[in-house]
Amino acid sequence: MKPVYVTQPHLPPLNDFIPYLEKIWDSKILTNGGPFHQQLEQELCEHLGVKHVALFTNGTIALLTALQALRITGEVITTPYSFVATAHSLLWNGIKPVFVDIDSKTLNLDPDKIESAITPQTTAILAVHCYGQPCDVERIQKIADNYGLKVIYDAAHAFGVQFKNESILNHGDLSVLSFHATKVFNTFEGGAIICPDAKIKQRIDHLKNFGFVDEVTVVAPGINGKMSEIISAFGLLQLKNIDDALQKRKAIDERYRSALKNIKGIQYLSNSLENTANYSYFPILVNAEYPLYRDVLFQKLRDNNIYARRYFYPLISDFPMYRGLPSAVVSNLPVAQKISNEVICLPIYPDLPFEKVDYIIQLIVDEITS
């Protein structure tokens, strides 16, 4: 059997991409906010139901730029339970991350624990909609308003997610998407900042182009974060297929849910009626009631050619550049530590056949029934 990975990018037929390439070869416009770049920003606004989109080369440069755009400094409250780029974007900006524990139901920043981590140096909250599960955006906003903090959402997992019939990306001061190959909507590499108004979008557009406003005016020490025409064109093609891809993911999600529902020691995240999910990941938590330790089940899956992943283990706060921080101590992050030791993300992607899903389920369920 060929190995099954946690995800596999969904690609359109190669021939469908040729006409886009012909246009680029004709026009010789390769980058710098060309026609495909503009069209993809426009179509993403419509598809996602957001006001402004600024495209980027990748999600990490978008995160760095979002922090620059809002002039964030000092300390920022963030989650240890995420991909490492979340906290790295703070260090690259000379900002001190302050880790706050997660909620055991959403696996996102626990609003109950944010306030006690705020100091006079705190300027913002950098939260993650982990696995596309919305943060408690209303309570986070309330805290931010009370203390005069900015809110940035790392929404790398949250493409297409809705909360109370509206895009989750409309919450906070800025939201950041990733279009990396492993994400629900991929453009090989890519990313975006979702902006609530034209003014901040303009500042971000300057920042991602070296700070240039016109030929002779540079207003900030900007970076080169622009998405190229070839990638923007590919994004337009991928967008045509995204609804179909999400439906296929949904069917796999449902199959896992119903098969693992009554398996002792295996839990998964609940589907809230308030949210529309994007089925980007299927994390399970393997607790003490299950016959195998998490890592033993993880290895068993590997031995059977199923390459599930322990997202997110280790915690960001356990990496060498973070573990010396006062907020990184184990006793400050008990829930994140526990979840990190229990989680396995099972394979889920549009082209994953049901037989493979059933095989994965069988490997997990066998331990109970045998």
Ligand X SMILES: *Cc1c(COP(=O)(O)O)cnc(C)c1O
Binding site for ligand X (CB under 6 A): 58-60, 82-83, 85-86, 128, 154, 156-157, 178, 180, 191
One-letter amino acid at 113 equals: K
Minimum distance, C-beta of residue 183 to ligand X, in the bound complex (Å): 6
Minimum distance, C-beta of residue 180 to ligand X, in the bound complex (Å): 4
Tokens (6 digits) for 261: 């529902």
Question: Do 5 and 306 meet the contact criterion of CB atoms below 8 Å apart?
Answer: no
User: Which residue in the block uniquely carries the two structure tokens 């492993």?
Assistant: 182
Three-state secondary structure string covering 314-345? CCHHHCCCCCCCHHHCHHHCHHHHHHHHHEEE
Question: Do 344 and 295 meet the contact criterion of CB atoms below 8 Å apart?
Answer: no
Residue whose CB is less far from ligand X, 52 or 157: 157
Minimum distance, C-beta of residue 156 to ligand X, in the bound complex (Å): 3
Residue whose CB is less far from ligand X, 159 or 298: 159
Taking CB atoms, the residue at the shortest distance from ligand X is 59
Question: Do 117 and 77 meet the contact criterion of CB atoms below 8 Å apart?
Answer: yes
Minimum distance, C-beta of residue 177 to ligand X, in the bound complex (Å): 8
356 in active site? no
Residue whose CB is less far from ligand X, 265 or 347: 347
Which DSSP string do the residues of 120-163 spell out, in sequence order? TTEEEEEEE-GGGPPP-HHHHHHHHHHHT-EEEEE-TT-TT-EE
Residue whose CB is less far from ligand X, 178 or 340: 178
Minimum distance, C-beta of residue 118 to ligand X, in the bound complex (Å): 23
Residue whose CB is less far from ligand X, 57 or 332: 57
CA 359 to chain CA centroid, nearest Å: 28
Q: Which of 51, 96, 113, 183 is catalytic?
A: 183
Tokens (6 digits) for 269: 């995240």
Q: Which helix (H) or strand (E) holds 40?
A: helix 35-48
Q: Catalytic residue positions?
A: 183
